Structures are given as C-alpha cells and as structure tokens.
Structure 1
Amino acid sequence: MNSPVLAQKKYDSGASDTEIKIGNIMPYSGPASAYAVIGKAEEAYFNKVNAEGGINGRKIKFISYDDGYSPPKTVEQARKLVESDGVLLIFGSLGTSTNGAIRKYMNEKKVPQLFVASGASKWNDPRQYPWTMGWQPSYASEARIYAKYIVKEKPDAKIGVLYQNDDFGKDYLKGLKEGLGARTSMIAMEDSYDTSEPAIDEHVVKLKASGADVFISITTPKFAAQAIKKAAEINWHPVHIISNVSASVGGVLEPAGIEISQGILSASYTKDGSDPQWNADDGMKKFYNFIAQYDPKANKLDAGVVFGYAAAQTMVKTLQQCGDDLTRENVMKQAASLKDFAPDTLLPGIKINTAADNFAPIEQLQMMRFKGKKWELFGDIISSEIGH
C-alpha cells in the first residue's frame, strides 16, 4: 500500500488540483510600452502549455496588469494580485524601479517575485531578499563585458556615456567602471537623462562635443533609437555600443533607420529572430512554430518576443520541478535548483544555473555587431563575473 504522505499534494494560495495562478505586471502603456510584447509572448506561451495539457495536469491562469512603468502603480497592482486575485507568485514583471518598489512587500508577504525582467544586480541577494530572483544577465555584468572589449580593442579610447538617470542606468555605469578598473579615466564624459524628457538630442550633442570616440548608450528602446538618429544627424561616428535591452532590430534599429545603425555593437544571450542563421536550429524552429500558432500578431524580429518565450519556458520548467508541492517555499526552492537548463531561444552554450546562494540565472553573453539587416555574433561567449 502506498504511503499517504508521499501522495499528499501541498498548495498555497493560487494553486489547486486544476490551476496555477501566476501574476504579472507590465508597462502596457507609458514610456516603456515597447516592452509590452514580452507580457503578450508570455501569455501566448502559457496558452500553448495549457493547450498541451498544462503543468502536471494543471492549467496556468496568467493575470497580467498594466503599471504604465510607474512604481506607485506597480505597488497597487502587486497588492491586487496578491491580496485580491490570490496568485501563487508574481512572474516576469518588468522594470528596475517598478520591481524595486514591490520587493520589500513581496518578501514580507513571502510571495515569490520570480524571474524579474530587469538586469539590476540587486535581484541576486538571496540572503536579504530570499523571495526575489532575476533572470537575464545583470546590467553591471553586461557593462563589464563592454569594458573588457574597449580596453582590448581600443585602449586609447575616449568614452562618452549617456545613461538613464535611475537604477537601470546607474547599475550599468557601475559595471562599466568596475570593468575599466584603474582605467576609468578613459571616460571623457558621462551624461544622464530622465525618462520624462521627450527627447535626448541635446545630450548626444554634448557628448560629441566632449571629443568622445566611443559612445556607450545606456538607454531604453525609445531613447536608444533617438540617440542613433541624432548621432547620424550631427555626423558623429563613434564606436557606438547600445545596451542589450535596446538591441532589438524590430523595436529599435528599424525605427531608427537600418542604414544609420550599421556597425553598432551590443552583446546578447538570446538568438535573434531576424537572423536566418537560426532557421535550421531546433529551438528556433519550435519558437517560429509557436509564433505561427499561438502569437501570430507578434513580430519575430522583436527581441522582446524571444525574451518572453525563454522566460516563460524557465517559469514552466520551475513549476514542473515542483511536482505536487505547489507551495511558495517549494517554488523558490526549485527556482534556485535549475541545472544547465537551456531554453529554446538562448544562444548555444548559454545555460541557466541557479543555487541557494546564486539568484543570477544567466551570467554569460557574446558580443555582436549590426551588419546589413541583422546582428552578427563575434568572439567567444564571455562570462561576466569577476569573482562573486
């Protein structure tokens, strides 16, 4: 006779024999609405999982709210998800300041704030915030890779940095300076902008005037596109590096202009949906089939769609590992026990690994250059860590 203890199912709020409720908060409106496609791709992926029978027989109920990229609104929506909707966890919410505004609340309530869609280093702090975990490579680690690249390829560079005046921008700047180490004097000028500014043209003009021949644009999509346009307009042709969050061909480079985007550098950890080199790749075949069937309005060139798909896959993998123990505690335990997991849309060789003392799932990237109509990867996959 089977021991009843083993067969016992364990549930917290938001989980049952038939359903798993997942909450999400996205900027469907406001200055960061370019990222709304991430939430839509995630919803479509969960629809696919449900159509295929769910997770261990349970259907996902995905409840996604708009916060307009405004932290007070994020707080309101998180409370609604936890206290009214009774979700098991909040997954993939977007933004640094927005997630920062709910982190304390989520940890006090002991509700998982999982796979945060922001590369701030602070999501990897399991000691102080055991209920919060990031997903993508941290901004600081990405910036360290750019620093390594500049020091090696252009050791006499004069660097001009434009950064968003918030945690997102400051984290990159910190990583860049860590990466440059004793050579921070290479930075000729750093200038910040606020997301409330309609345009950043003046900042670009100032950076050109500083004599910088390397331009690091730590910007979100709307401003990244503006910076590309303005640099071309004033005939400034530095080595131009843009942050991965703005490396979308469909979301940034096409709107800015393909011709003037030639030669721009960035780094990636995901495959590029616009690149025919992946047409024969098994993972991308699954991704393209998914789009055709479940998200036909999506632009496969938009990096946000590739991102949302891989993040949702990571969430599903975590829930599969939970089995019938769908307590919040076990969800966090499984999220911190991912071993060499490779979502379909991550670059070959890049794998997700977590541990109880390491809440940074992805820590590798590869440099890339925009050429023709697509990104070309070059060099080796670089691990960003300098110690821990």
Structure 2
Amino acid sequence: MKLMKLCGGVALALVLGAAPALAEKKYDPGATDTTIKLGNTVPHSGPGSPYGALGRAATAYFEMLNDTKGGINGRKVTVLSLDDAYSPPKTVEATRRLVESEQVLALFASLGTATQGAVQKYLNAKNVPQLLLNTGAGRWNDPKRFPWTTPGLPMYATEAKILAKYIVAKQPDPKIGILAQHDELGKEFVRELRAALGPKADQMIVQELSYELSDPTVDSQIIKLKNAGANVFFNVTTGKATSQSIRKAAEIGWKPLHVIMSGSTSSNLIQAAGPENAVGMVTVKYRKNAGDPQYADDPAMKAFEAFRAKYLPNVDPGNDLAFAGYAQAVVMGKILELCGDDLTRANVLKQATTLKDVTSPALIEGVTYNTQPDDYSPFRTLYVAEFDGKLWKTLEKITAD
C-alpha cells in the first residue's frame, strides 16, 4: 500500500511538473500575451482602388472582434493594411515595412498576382506566412518551393477547367474572343483556358486581345472581338475595365456567351456597368454577393450588414469587396483561434494548411475551405451561375478534376 501511495505521489508530481510545459506559450514577432499584429497590402489608391475595401473590411472586422470578444484567445488583434496602389515596387516597400519595421506575425488577404509575386520569395526567405491571397495564380499552390504562401481564392486552373467544360457544353461551335489584363493574372488565366480546351484550343479561339491597367478604356478591344465573329466572350479583366467591357458589349449590340472570371463579379463593378448590360453573363460561384436579395434573410449576411453599419458606415451596403474582405478576416480569425497559445509563424502556417471543412460567411452552402500540406488549393468544386439582371442564379455544380 505504501508503495502504491509512493508511486501515486510520484506520478502526481510528474503530472504537475509537466503542466507548465504543456501550457507553455510560444511567440514569434507580432504576438505577445496580449496582442497579435497582422498585415496586408492592397490598392487603397490608383486604378485598383475599389479593392481597398478588402483591407478596410479586414481591419474593421478585427476591431469589432476586439470590442465584442476581447480579440482572439484573450489577445487584441491589429491589422495594418498598407496601400501599394497595385504597383509591385510599392508592394515590396510596404511589405518590407510590415515585416521589418512593424514586425507582423503574418500577412493575409493581400491582393494581386504581379504585386504579390514581387514579394513571394522575400516572405518565404523570411519564413513569414503570406496567407489567403486574393489571387488564384498557380504559383500560390507550390508547397515545395514556396511553403509560406497560400491562395484564398479558387485557383485559376480550377476556374478555367470548369468554365471550359461549360463553354463546350453550351456552345456547340464555340468561337472564343478573349480580353485579358496584360499581366501575370491575365496570361496565366488564358494559358489555363487553352490547356483546358485541349488540342482544339487554337481552332476555338478566334481572337485574343489584352489591355494595360493604365489604358483609359477597352472599347476598341471589345469592337475588335465582335468583328472577329466571336460568339463567346471570355472576360479576364479587373476594376474599371470590367465595367467598361460589359457596358461596351451592350452598346454595340454584341450578345455572345459572356463568361467572366469570378474575381470580377462584385456588385459594385456590375452596378457601374449597368446591371441590365450584364444579363446572361456567366461565371463560377463559390460565395454570396453582398446586397443580393436572395440572401436577405441569410444570418451571415445580416451579421455582415450589422457590422458594416457600425464599423464601415461609409461603405455601401452592396459593396461586395468589403463583404469578401470581412469573410476572409473571419477565416484568418479561425486560423489564429486554432493556434491557441502557440503563436509562432510555423504554427500559423500549419493551421492554415490543414483546414478541414472550414466555413465562411461568404461561402455558398456546400462550399468549404479544405487545404492539405501538399496541396494548398482551397476549392475543387464550384458552381456555375448566370446573372439575370438582379441575381446570380446557380445553374450547376462542376468539379475541375
């Protein structure tokens, strides 16, 4: 009996002695017992300035969380959203400031293929997480070469495969006219579309044009695509070029099967084009749109509207980019919550690359974030949807594989 008591006492002492070690808190730059500091770079000015809403909403979300819940796991979260004006040199400058001067724990929800490409090697060399990027370029899903970088959108390859399947199924004799932004985003999207169309790509594509972000309009390109006899318009534009392309096609009476990348379907861009001009436009859908009447009673949309009214009163209720930024911040918050008291950059990356059926306020029912250490692509199956002048109506669910 004495031996049993002795053993029990030793065991208890061992457990008690181990408790502090089990509860040990681990921090990297940007995290303390009471704070977490994050950052991102988006264009708050310049031609891409509408996308600044992404950064403002992400910042405001964590302000709300700090006010209502005391932050995450007892720590107040600060987000520094810096303006890069959609210019790679400015992205480099802003990112270096976030890492070296501000010493953020991680970056998340930054925007732009060319801009984020300019800092990808730098961040990976510094072992700083570059998470949930607002771009679907293939370079973000490269765990072997760039383990610290993850995408936050459907990969361009995924989207292109799904849209190619839809085009071939719906247009018996496709004559595809392409307008693409003249940068890495546009080039990769078009390359992935060609790959998805297969050996007959050259036969199907009758005209391929591009534009520069600095171009005042894309009117001439739209006219050329119509004159080439295209009955499919594959639209890879952003910002004002998106609105201009939709409006110009309607003005000249060109009515092709209009297929547009999902990143350019925000309600503010469509409103600028005139919703009546976007009727029949097709895209892939994986998330809801702010201001969409079909989600008026959706609890997540109501929560966003309450948040917007208090923390972003100068943002229009239908600003879809603000909704997207808010929703990505929710996912980043879940990643931080999963980290617990291990707020090292390595653990932040681990949690971000092992997401399992993680939901977000913006995701359509049936779509969830799923990532793996050897495959960072967050989505494989998406919906195809058509715009009816007011709403995006889902047509069918298509898997890229």
TM-score tier after normalising by the smaller chain length: over 0.9
The one-letter code of the counterpart of 1:35 is: Y
1:123 alignment partner in structure 2: 140
- The answer as to 2:24 corresponding to 1:8 is yes
Task: State the distance in 2 between where 1:140 and 1:170 align.
Answer: 12
1:231 alignment partner in structure 2: 249
Task: State the distance in 1 between where 2:111 and 2:161 align.
Answer: 23
The gaps in structure 1 that reach 5 residues or longer are: none
2:43 alignment partner in structure 1: 27
Segment drifting more, 187-196 vs 364-373: 364-373
Segment drifting more, 186-195 vs 228-237: 228-237
Deviations 1:287-336 (A, max 9, x none): 22222332232223222122112211111111101000000111101111
Q: Decide whether the 8 Å contact of 1:274 with 1:374 is kept in 2.
A: no
Q: Decide whether the 8 Å contact of 2:110 with 2:134 is kept in 1.
A: yes
Deviations 1:122-177 (A, max 9, x none): 10001000111111101221121111001111121111011111111112112211
1:80 alignment partner in structure 2: 97
Task: State the distance in 1 between where 2:276 and 2:370 align.
Answer: 38
Of structures 1 and 2, the larger Rg is shown by: 2
Deviations 1:158-205 (A, max 9, x none): 110111111111121122112211331211111111112111111111
Q: How many pairs align?
A: 383
The one-letter code of the counterpart of 1:186 is: M
Task: State the distance in 2 between where 1:137 and 1:124 align.
Answer: 11
- The answer as to 2:231 corresponding to 1:216 is no
- The answer as to 2:280 corresponding to 1:263 is yes
2:12 alignment partner in structure 1: none
Segment drifting more, 192-201 vs 327-336: 192-201
TM-score, normalised via structure 2 length: 0.93
Residue from 295, 298, 306 that aligns with 1:281: 298
2:4 alignment partner in structure 1: none
1:156 alignment partner in structure 2: 173
Task: State the distance in 2 between where 1:66 and 1:273 align.
Answer: 24
Deviations 1:230-273 (A, max 9, x none): 11222211111121111112x21111112222111112111122
1:165 alignment partner in structure 2: 182
Residue from 166, 185, 205 that aligns with 1:187: 205
Task: State the distance in 2 between where 1:188 and 1:47 align.
Answer: 50
The one-letter code of the counterpart of 1:279 is: A
Q: Decide whether the 8 Å contact of 2:56 with 2:81 is kept in 1.
A: no
Q: Decide whether the 8 Å contact of 2:294 with 2:391 is kept in 1.
A: no
Task: State the distance in 2 between where 1:285 and 1:227 align.
Answer: 32
Task: State the distance in 2 between where 1:256 and 1:372 align.
Answer: 11
2:260 alignment partner in structure 1: 242
Task: State the distance in 1 between where 2:377 and 2:23 align.
Answer: 33
Q: What SS is found at the alignment partner of 1:62?
A: strand
After TM superposition, list the pairs within 5 Å mapping 1:1-388 onto structure 2: 1=16, 3=18, 4-51=20-67, 52-184=69-201, 185-249=203-267, 251-380=268-397, 382-384=398-400, 386=401
